[in-house]
Chains A and B, each alone.
Chain A
Amino acid sequence: MERERQKTLIEAILFLNEDPVRLEKLADILELPREETREIVAELQHDLAAASRGIRIFEVAGGYQLGTPPELAGDLERAIGEEGGGSISNAALETLAIIAYKQPVTRAEIESIRGVKCEHVLENLLKRRLIRISGRKEGPGRPLMYSTTPDFLKYFGLKELKELPPLEE
């Protein structure tokens, strides 16, 4: 398959998917080694930006996904009547930060760091699928443990958890 056709195919696959598509998956479909596939995606990424196209390729939650250029945000919000999508409350953000760094973590551990009860915050985060119940801690009461989800990475535009900066000392 020639290069241009490979790029077109990747663009089409990303267009069809609303979830991030993993590099391995694309390599598998193109029947190419990963490194080469990564180069082709990078080229396509560059092409789209250079041609000022309305779609761009973003690396989120361990894969590639199509999205709109950030500089269009204002115009798009007006066009589709969506306001900056309700932000998360400070309480929820603090809780998420603790879960992201200490996962899997129990409610008691989170509450001990924040100094406040977190039951409702956790419920809301579960509903928004930013966190999930990832197991139970061995010990008295076997409390539930919480971890972040792929949606968490998508929401914050993170490729992977490793992208979080190390906690300050």
Chain B
Amino acid sequence: MSYTVRLPVFEGPFDLLFHLVKKAEVDIWEISIAEITGQYLAYLQSMKELNLDIASEFLVMAATLLRLKSKLLLPRQPRPAEDEEEIFDINSPEELFNRLEEYRRFKEAARFLREKELEQQKIFLRSTGGRKLMLMGRQQTFYTFWEGPYVLGEIMRRFAETAAAAAITPVIGGIEDFPVAEKMAFIYDLLERSGKVLPLKAFWNEKGGLWELIAVFIAVLELARQRKIALYQDRPFGQILLSINSTREKEQKHGA
């Protein structure tokens, strides 16, 4: 004859502790460390008897609880600050209660989300099977390109889809209108003649549009790769500055 024992599943040590506090029907702030430690260990023991895997976090919490308990039993002794890293870093019952309290608040929030999820699962939102439309109003719509990798990934995915569906003319045709080699020569020549550090936008004719910008950008990257020019930027997404790579010129002179 076999028994099926059902143990509640806990998301982590805080979840289990919270459950024990609730079962004891006392306020989080009134629970005795000794009592809760005993119950916590008893629970781990029953998990062990049932041959359940016990995640390491549960064991670390057991150790943390035992240390708290022993600290309360022993006369206080000033101890030098510990360097070792601890997952829980809990050194007093107050800290434990604070952490439990914080966990409880988010557990409540998770319960709110679960309710909303159930409500929303009753509603099927309009789906066009992945086809997205761009609505054009009176004002022109622009994409914010640098909102983050999440959005960028989405833009690239859509772009790939459109390209794969051959709904637009091949990309290569567009780029050929602005030969990159020509742009490279133009940029290098201008930098050399001016002998100054120039911002990227000095090389980009705004009337040229997106393809022009792409061609200039590829040309700049290629020049930098060939170490003919140096690129500077004082902060992320800041202005990009270009100059002739003087270290390379020196190298060449030495080599000659």
Chain A contact residues, CB within 8 Å of chain B: 13-19, 21, 25, 28-29, 31, 55-56, 58, 60, 65-71, 73, 76, 84-85, 87-88, 90-91, 93-94, 96-98, 100-101, 111, 113-117, 129, 132-135, 149, 154-158, 164-165, 167-168
Establish whether residues B125 and A100, one from each chain, have CB atoms under 8 Å apart when the complex forms: no
Q: A138 to nearest B CB, angstroms?
A: 12
Which residues on A sit within 8 Å (CB–CB) of B118?
Answer: 87
The 8 closest A-B pairs by CB, nearest first: A28-B137, A132-B150, A116-B12, A157-B120, A73-B122, A70-B122, A97-B109, A66-B126
Chain B residues with a Cβ closer than 8 Å to the other chain, count = 47
Which residues on B sit within 8 Å (CB–CB) of A157?
Answer: 116, 119-120, 123
Q: A80 to nearest B CB, angstroms?
A: 8
Which residues on A sit within 8 Å (CB–CB) of B12?
Answer: 114-116
Establish whether residues A90 and B105, one from each chain, have CB atoms under 8 Å apart when the complex forms: no
Q: Which of A14, A114, A155 has the most CB of B within 10 A?
A: A114
Establish whether residues B125 and A154, one from each chain, have CB atoms under 8 Å apart when the complex forms: yes
In the bound assembly, the distance between CA atoms of A94 and B131 in angstroms comes to: 32
Establish whether residues B121 and A85, one from each chain, have CB atoms under 8 Å apart when the complex forms: yes
Q: With contacts A18-B131, A29-B135, A101-B109 known, is A135 near B148, CB below 8 A?
A: yes
Which residues on B sit within 8 Å (CB–CB) of A71?
Answer: 122
Q: Given A98-B109, A132-B148, A156-B120, 11 more contacts at CB 8 Å?
A: A18-B128, A18-B131, A28-B137, A29-B135, A58-B125, A93-B110, A115-B13, A116-B13, A129-B150, A156-B116, A156-B117
Selected contact of B135 from candidates A21, A76, A115, CB within 8 Å: A21
Is B5 positioned at the interface, with any CB of A under 8 Å from its CB? no
Establish whether residues A73 and B123, one from each chain, have CB atoms under 8 Å apart when the complex forms: yes
In the bound assembly, the distance between CA atoms of A129 and B148 in angstroms comes to: 13
The main secondary structure of chain A at its interface with chain B is mixed
Is B132 positioned at the interface, with any CB of A under 8 Å from its CB? yes
Q: A127 to nearest B CB, angstroms?
A: 12
Which residues on B sit within 8 Å (CB–CB) of A91?
Answer: 11
Is B133 positioned at the interface, with any CB of A under 8 Å from its CB? yes
Establish whether residues A18 and B132, one from each chain, have CB atoms under 8 Å apart when the complex forms: yes
Which residues on A sit within 8 Å (CB–CB) of B88?
Answer: 115
Is B102 positioned at the interface, with any CB of A under 8 Å from its CB? yes
Establish whether residues A97 and B113, one from each chain, have CB atoms under 8 Å apart when the complex forms: yes
Selected contact of A168 from candidates B108, B117, B150, CB within 8 Å: B108
Q: Which residues of B (86-120) have their CB < 8 Å from a CB of A?
A: 87-88, 99, 102-103, 105-110, 112-114, 116-120
Q: B73 to nearest A CB, angstroms?
A: 24
Establish whether residues B117 and A113, one from each chain, have CB atoms under 8 Å apart when the complex forms: no
Is B139 positioned at the interface, with any CB of A under 8 Å from its CB? yes
Establish whether residues B110 and A19, one from each chain, have CB atoms under 8 Å apart when the complex forms: no
Which residues on A sit within 8 Å (CB–CB) of B129?
Answer: 18
Q: A93 to nearest B CB, angstroms?
A: 4
Q: B105 to nearest A CB, angstroms?
A: 5
Establish whether residues B126 and A101, one from each chain, have CB atoms under 8 Å apart when the complex forms: no
In the bound assembly, the distance between CA atoms of A94 and B129 in angstroms comes to: 30
Establish whether residues A117 and B150, one from each chain, have CB atoms under 8 Å apart when the complex forms: no
Establish whether residues A67 and B124, one from each chain, have CB atoms under 8 Å apart when the complex forms: yes
Which residues on A sit within 8 Å (CB–CB) of B133?
Answer: 16-17
Selected contact of A93 from candidates B103, B113, B130, B149, CB within 8 Å: B113
